[in-house]
């Protein structure tokens, strides 16, 4: 005999892919005619950017560009030079199944880069970077929330979870002409430029998401007065953008990520011909995921008072995003440059970082490291490059009322680094932007199908209206009711009980 199963919809996210694909960097570069000869290489790095994301059936396609930048000293050994080369890449990933409604979370990670000068005008460069992707699809599954049928008893449990309301990704341009202040000399050539996008506010508006923030732009350039004189400038460019494609409502937790998908800066002359402007062409990629609080009722166990049952189970893990943390902290550190000496810092920045977060003793504790890249001049005024790794730890108060045993997915961005020269080294202050998605997980064994075996009726004692059972503390009323072919509610009512378990040793009256 089959029972009628009532089902409830469950909109959750399923990870279809979470991995990476390595991209090689193999270049044999000849210096352009306008670049002087190489005396010594100071720094080589590859900067990959993802510019396009697409899903076609069961195939994910990621395309982008990577820029290889080499800092070196020219033949005189006192002037810093830079050459760069740009190339494109394409990565194709096959999913375990076609994805009709899915979103790609992607980023790049530099693995290694090696560079050597095979002659004063040729560079041999080998390295690799990884294109990392996580593909999440919205799956609308069903779970059994109730069973209809005579003589059937069922154990139900209501569980909170986060409904995946929607996600979107959108790329948009940011264009600006920036002017140098009168106190700064004109720009002859741009050696290095970095951009960092930070979110200041997000708000659901008519099913869309309005995001506001700013892009912090830092430019290292050589002066028109003296090509060996390097200058830095920082700018803050505000932006606002409406994101479409999700189901964003006021009760959703909205997780927003920003990435610089493209950056081009050119020196521009003013009306008198002086090089006092920067023409900035940038592309920002904004992605957002909406998590809506929800509950689902599931049947975890059942028995019939009349027949033995054949029950099919499935394991279900429900995740709830309980909080999205955003922290900012200043990490101070001393970096020794003993034996080198330092007279001036041309530029200081970050390229690599990692972080983990976990709940410990009522706190969410971040632990990680980041590198500090230093381009400077020694006591003889000769440019040099060095870098150091800095470890850090930061604790976010979690509180006794918050859930324990949570899972944390964390991110780190180094928003900026300031410094002070101290004799044989420097002291730095790094502004760290820390984010964490705090999740609770509940794994349950729930009923997926059920039928009664009418050839196996249950033996039931009908000779008396009540039976006496001597219970121990902690015994489950469900197990007792199942053994006596009665209901938990009947035992509770007969014995004036309220909970799910026997509280103290004693006699129970079991209605038959």
Is residue 459 classed exposed, middle or buried when 0-12, 13-18 and 19+ CB atoms within 10 A define those classes?
exposed
* pLDDT one-digit tens code per residue, 220-246: 999 999 888 899 999 999 999 999 876
Q: Are 72 and 41 in contact (CB under 8 A)?
A: yes
The per-residue pLDDT for 246 is 67
Task: Please state which of the ranges 7-11, 242-246, 293-297, 475-479 shows the lowest mean pLDDT.
Answer: 242-246
**Cα–Cα distances in angstroms (integers) from residue 469 to residues 153, 279, 305, 487, 509, in the given order:** 20, 85, 18, 14, 6
* pLDDT one-digit tens code per residue, 404-431: 889 999 999 999 999 999 988 899 999 9
**351: helix, strand or coil:** coil
* pLDDT one-digit tens code per residue, 477-505: 999 999 888 889 999 999 888 888 988 88
Cβ neighbors of 133 (< 8 A, separation 6 or more) are 17, 18, 19, 20, 21, 60, 62, 93, 104, 105, 106
What's the rounded mean pLDDT across residues 288-314?
91
Domain boundaries, given as residue ranges, for the chain = 13-144, 150-305, 326-445, 462-511
Class of domain 462-511: alpha beta
* pLDDT one-digit tens code per residue, 188-206: 999 999 999 999 999 998 8
CA dihedral (317, 442, 477, 308) in degrees, to 10, reads: 10
Give the residues across from 179 on adjacent strands. Answer: 277
Report the chain's mean pLDDT, rounded to a whole number: 91
The reported pTM is 0.88
Pick 331 or 98 by higher pLDDT: 331
């Amino acid at each position: 005999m089959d029972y009628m199963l009532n089902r409830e919809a469950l909109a959750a996210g399923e990870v279809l892919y979470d991995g990476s694909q390595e991209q090689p960097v193999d270049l044999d570069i000849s210096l352009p005619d306008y670049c002087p000869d190489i005396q010594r290489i100071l720094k080589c790095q590859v900067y990959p950017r993802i510019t396009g994301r697409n899903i076609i059936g069961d195939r994910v396609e990621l395309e982008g560009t990577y820029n290889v930048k080499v800092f070196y000293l020219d033949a005189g050994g006192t002037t810093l030079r830079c050459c760069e080369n740009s190339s494109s890449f394409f990565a194709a990933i096959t999913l375990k199944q076609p994805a009709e409604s899915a979103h790609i979370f992607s980023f790049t990670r530099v693995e290694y880069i090696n560079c050597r000068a095979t002659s004063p005008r040729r560079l041999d460069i080998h390295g690799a970077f990884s294109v990392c992707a996580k593909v999440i699809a919205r799956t609308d599954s069903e779970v059994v929330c109730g069973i209809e049928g005579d003589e059937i008893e069922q154990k139900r449990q209501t569980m909170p979870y986060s409904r995946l309301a929607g996600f979107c990704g959108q790329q948009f341009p940011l264009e600006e002409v920036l002017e140098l202040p009168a106190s700064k000399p004109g720009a002859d050539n741009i050696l290095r430029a970095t951009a960092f996008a930070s979110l200041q506010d997000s708000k659901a508006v008519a099913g869309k998401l309005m995001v506001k923030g700013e892009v912090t732009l830092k430019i290292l350039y050589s002066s028109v007065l003296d090509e060996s004189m390097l200058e830095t400038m920082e700018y803050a460019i505000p932006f606002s953008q409406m994101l479409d494609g999700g189901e964003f409502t006021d009760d959703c937790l909205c997780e927003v990520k920003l990435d610089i998908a493209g950056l081009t800066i050119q020196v521009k002359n003013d009306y008198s011909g002086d090089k006092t402007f920067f023409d900035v062409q940038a592309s920002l990629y904004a992605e957002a995921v909406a998590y809506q609080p929800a509950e689902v009722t599931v049947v975890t166990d059942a028995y019939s008072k009349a027949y033995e049952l054949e029950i099919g189970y499935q394991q279900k893990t429900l995740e709830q995003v309980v909080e999205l943390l955003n922290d900012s902290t200043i990490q101070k550190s001393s970096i020794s440059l003993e034996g080198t000496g330092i007279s001036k810092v041309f530029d200081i920045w970050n390229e690599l970082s990692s972080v983990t977060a976990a709940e410990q003793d009522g706190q969410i504790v971040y632990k990680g490291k980041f590198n500090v890249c230093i381009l400077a001049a020694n006591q003889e005024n000769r440019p040099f490059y060095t870098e150091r790794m800095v470890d850090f730890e930061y604790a976010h108060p979690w509180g006794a009322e918050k859930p324990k045993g949570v899972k944390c997915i964390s991110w780190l961005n180094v928003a900026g680094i300031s410094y002070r020269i101290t004799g044989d080294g420097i002291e730095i202050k790094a502004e760290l932007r820390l984010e964490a998605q705090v999740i609770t997980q509940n794994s349950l064994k729930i009923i997926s199908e059920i039928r009664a075996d009418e050839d196996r009726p249950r033996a039931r004692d009908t000779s008396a209206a009540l039976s006496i059972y001597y219970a121990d503390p902690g015994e489950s009323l469900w197990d007792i009711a199942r053994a006596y072919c009665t209901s938990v509610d009947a035992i509770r009512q007969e014995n004036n009980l309220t909970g799910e378990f026997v509280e103290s040793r004693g006699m129970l009256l079991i209605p038959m």
